[in-house]
Amino acid sequence: MRVCARVPTLPAPTARGRMQPLKGFRDFFPQDLAHLRWIQSAWHSAAKLAGFEEWDGPVLEPLKLFTDKSGDEIAGQLYAFEDKGERPVALRPEMTPTLVRMLSARAGALPKPIKWYSVAQFFRYEQPQHGRGREFFQWNVDVVGSPHPAADAEVIAVAVEALRRLGLSDEDLRVRISDRGALAAFLVALEVPEELHLSVFECIDKLERDPAATRRLTEILGESRAAELLCACDQFPLSRAERLGVVLEACRDWGLGACLEPDLRIVRGLAYYTGTVFEIFARGAKLRAVAGGGRYDRLMSDMGGPPLEAVGFGMGDMVLSLLLAERGLEAPPGMRLEVLVIGTDASMLSPAREVVRELRSRGVASETAYAPVRVSKALRSASNQGVPRVVLVGPDEWAERKVVVRELSSGQQRTVHLSELD
């Protein structure tokens, strides 16, 4: 796919003369952005509270970074093109390969475990649907350089902490968790050759979404082995998943007991997971996963870096927004205008600006009109905007550098010197 150097033709205006964003992409009006920022601030605070450091990487990466290791599903959803230097590039569909690339170069010098998180925008050419877009924000939390099950449990605890901070309770959430290692051992016991494991994982991952997945599983394994595997999926043989047992214990230490559901059907679509895999769902809602992650102990060395183990997850904003709306949870009101400064006549425009400057320098959110406005109209506008206080700047008081402060709820007012204004 080549990118044209010429200026692209803009989409034709619609009948109403407006242009729409691309399918699967979103406009963020102030209220939408306030909602997104609320979610993101829960992500930031939960990660920081647990000692994770924020990082970021480029939005555009070499195409190969994603085609080599992410697996066929993501590779088929890439926004990929050639840049003007004829280099194959892609908009990032996920963060993990970038994390691995960056750490491959520096990990040796960093104390372990490395605990990093990021909040970034991603692009996947998927069929837009409920909770799924072609652009979305995702929170990534990863621990690199620790093989311990306690690291797996900590990232899950951090994910749940952010959800709790947004007002969701443990009764709202299910953490479905499995271990690809346990599943692989089960397949070995069924004498399924290792080269077939990934295809079996892909089928199991699709069992709940794609009716053809069971047929495909039978084609790969034969009827009796497929039946045995499906039976194990219904009743997780936890006795054969020793490491998962330790992860579950550590999760209980973090107070997650009520949300944990060991489930062999969770394998995850991405190719690089090697051990623990988990997805967080809303209980009782027909929504896709809010978050998903797992352990990827071989990715770093497979990509030419040091042999460092890693575990982490990604949580998207779209399914989460739907879940929050379903539960009636919304962003608390943000910082509003605290004071409207009104010049009582045209000669007071400049003093009103000086008053605003003074207020802003003291951290008070304030504004004044650009042009003369009738006082009655300005008062009406202040009350419509929900501004709690106005400051009236009139020639008589201003002659002594004073102004009138009026509380709109009570109508009480006082005259104060500019230096006493707060």
Shorter beta-carbon distance to ligand HAM: residue 270 or 378:
270
Please give the single-letter amino acid code of residue 55. Answer: W
Which residues, 266 to 325, sit near ligand HAM by CB under 6 A?
Answer: 270, 289-293, 312-316, 318-319
Smallest separation, CB 228 to ligand HAM (Å): 28
Among 113, 133, 181, 394, binds ligand HAM (CB under 6 A): 133
Task: Give the rounded distance of the alpha carbon of 375 from its chain centre.
Answer: 45
Residue from 289, 287, 279 nearest 327 by CA: 287
Smallest separation, CB 179 to ligand HAM (Å): 15
Smallest separation, CB 36 to ligand HAM (Å): 13
146 contacts ligand HAM (rule: CB under 6 A): no
- Answer yes or no: are the C-beta atoms of 274 and 181 closer than 8 Å: yes
**Token pair of 83, please?**
């840049």
Shorter beta-carbon distance to ligand HAM: residue 267 or 291:
291
Smallest separation, CB 77 to ligand HAM (Å): 8
Shorter beta-carbon distance to ligand HAM: residue 274 or 366:
274
Options 132-140, 226-234, 238-246, 297-305: segment touching ligand HAM (CB under 6 A): 132-140
Among 67, 98, 118, 138, binds ligand HAM (CB under 6 A): 138
Smallest separation, CB 124 to ligand HAM (Å): 4
Shorter beta-carbon distance to ligand HAM: residue 130 or 401:
130
Shorter beta-carbon distance to ligand HAM: residue 166 or 403:
166
Shorter beta-carbon distance to ligand HAM: residue 126 or 338:
126
**Residue that is written with structure tokens 């970074």 in the block:** 65
Shorter beta-carbon distance to ligand HAM: residue 95 or 114:
95
Number of residues that bind ligand HAM (CB under 6 A): 24
Residue nearest to ligand HAM (CB): 316
Among 44, 132, 164, 327, binds ligand HAM (CB under 6 A): 132
- The whole-angstrom separation of Cα 93 and Cα 294 is 17
- Answer yes or no: are the C-beta atoms of 388 and 338 closer than 8 Å: yes
- DSSP alpha helices (H): ranges in 254-369? 299-302, 317-326, 349-361
Options 124-132, 354-362, 387-395, 406-414: segment touching ligand HAM (CB under 6 A): 124-132
- The whole-angstrom separation of Cα 191 and Cα 187 is 6
* H-run or E-run covering 100: helix 96-106
Among 140, 146, 276, 344, binds ligand HAM (CB under 6 A): 140
Shorter beta-carbon distance to ligand HAM: residue 77 or 344:
77
Among 38, 43, 52, 136, binds ligand HAM (CB under 6 A): 136
- The whole-angstrom separation of Cα 32 and Cα 14 is 23
- The whole-angstrom separation of Cα 259 and Cα 263 is 12
The overall longest dimension of the chain from CA atoms, in Å, is: 95
Smallest separation, CB 250 to ligand HAM (Å): 18
How far are the Cα atoms of 142, 201, 295, 308 from residue 177, in angstroms, in the given order? 17, 14, 12, 23
**What is the per-residue DSSP string for 186-212?**
HHHHTT--GGGHHHHHHHHHHTTT-TH
- DSSP alpha helices (H): ranges in 295-371? 299-302, 317-326, 349-361
Among 101, 124, 265, 389, binds ligand HAM (CB under 6 A): 124
Smallest separation, CB 135 to ligand HAM (Å): 8
Give the residues across from 359 on adjacent strands.
none
- The whole-angstrom separation of Cα 216 and Cα 206 is 10
Q: What are phi and psi of 341, to 5 degrees?
A: -95, 130
Site string for ligand HAM, 81-100 (x = CB under 6 A): -------------xxx----
Shorter beta-carbon distance to ligand HAM: residue 121 or 169:
121
- The whole-angstrom separation of Cα 37 and Cα 350 is 35
- Answer yes or no: are the C-beta atoms of 295 and 139 closer than 8 Å: no
How far are the Cα atoms of 93, 153, 247, 260, 314 from residue 157, in angstroms, in the given order? 25, 6, 11, 11, 13
Shorter beta-carbon distance to ligand HAM: residue 190 or 287:
287
Shorter beta-carbon distance to ligand HAM: residue 268 or 402:
268
Residue ranges that bind ligand HAM, judged by CB under 6 A: 94-96, 124, 126, 132-133, 136, 138, 140, 142, 270, 289-293, 312-316, 318-319
